[in-house]
Amino acid sequence: MITKPYFHYILILLSCASCTKRRIPTDAELNRLLGPVKTVVITYENKQGQLDTTRVHNPIEMRFDHKGNITNEISYFEGEIDHEFRWHYSPKGLASRKEYFNDGRLKEVSVFEHEVSENNIKKRREVLVGSPIKETIETTFDNRLIRVEYFADQTITKEEQYVFDDEMRLVSEEWRSFTKRVNPTPRGKEQYEYDREGILSRQTTFGLDGKIVGIASPKLLKFDSHGNCTEELVGANTIKRMTFSYYKD
């Protein structure tokens, strides 16, 4: 989900002129959501049905438009808005993202520039308004999404890569950061496998040395008619609940 930290992986872009054209993944697909999702609300409860108050930003609500673009991400605490992100779109695509404090005051604004090639390669440049140290280039092509974050002097600070299969299911992600502007940290990586019904069945986590540090089978308990997980056991005593609403097909 979008609340995950933005690390970034850089990739040498090969020409896609001879590649089979594939669809660019949507924001909903980046969050492993299926179907025409309109909203999803995420909460955490213990097995006795009580709200897990140790998670200070729960619940979280995400909203999407008809095309799968994210429009809002709202974090609540004790029934009140804790903070909110709002994405704004123009006819050419994403135009800006604004972050608000819990009292509604504007905290931060990012603006975006777009370029889409004939070979289904999308490039998006993000600039944090008023900040001299943040610029993000996002490139999407051939079922891959790559983000690279730069300082003002064009040195890389973070990298991330997402890879999807032909069904637009997330199959791997890699990340690393450049803490000293010189040498990057080793890459972290996770791979995902799915069963015949398209349900996530196995998650493999690799350490910074490239060795496997964990293999898990997510404990997915309940699903809705679109195939989205509505209950998942994420700890010995914690259940993650997701409540969905959908656009009409």
* 142-152 as b/e: b if 16+ CB within 10 A: bbbbbbbbbee
Mean pLDDT of the region 183-192: 75
Strand-pair partners of 128: 110
Q: What is the mean pLDDT of residues 69-84?
A: 90
- With a pLDDT cut of 70, the percent of the chain lying above it is 78
Give the model confidence (pLDDT) of 217-242 as tens digits. Answer: 888 889 999 989 999 988 777 888 99
Cβ proximity of 61 and 68 under 8 Å: no
> Is residue 199 over pLDDT 90?
no
- Greater confidence (22 vs 245) lies with 245
In this prediction, residue 56 has a pLDDT band, given cuts at 50, 70 and 90, of very low
pTM of the predicted model, to two decimals? Answer: 0.74
Mean pLDDT value across residues 102-112: 90
Question: In this structure, what is the dihedral angle of CA atoms 127, 25, 85, 190, given to the nearest 10 degrees?
Answer: -90
pLDDT number for residue 244: 97
Tell me, rounded to whole angstroms, the distance of Cα 200 from its chain centroid. Answer: 16
Query: Residue 45's pLDDT is what?
Result: 82
| Residue linked to tokens 């979008």 | 2
pLDDT at 18: 37
Between 188 and 181, the more confident residue is: 188
Identity (one letter) of the amino acid at 145?
A: L
Instruction: Please check whether residue 190 is in contact with residue 206, taking contact to mean a CB–CB distance below 8 angstroms.
Output: yes
**pLDDT(22) > 70:** no
Element (H, E) at 88: strand 80-90
CA-angle at 135, arms to 134 and 139, nearest 5°:
145
Confidence grade of residue 216 (pLDDT, cut at 50, 70, 90): confident
119: pLDDT strictly greater than 70: no
Residue 147: pLDDT over 50: yes
- For the stretch 7-19, pLDDT in tens is 333 333 333 333 4
Spatial neighbors of 116 by CB under 8 A, at least 6 apart, are 93, 122, 123
Place of tokens 């994403």: 94
Contacts of 230 (CB under 8 A, 6+ apart): 222, 223, 224, 241, 242, 243, 244
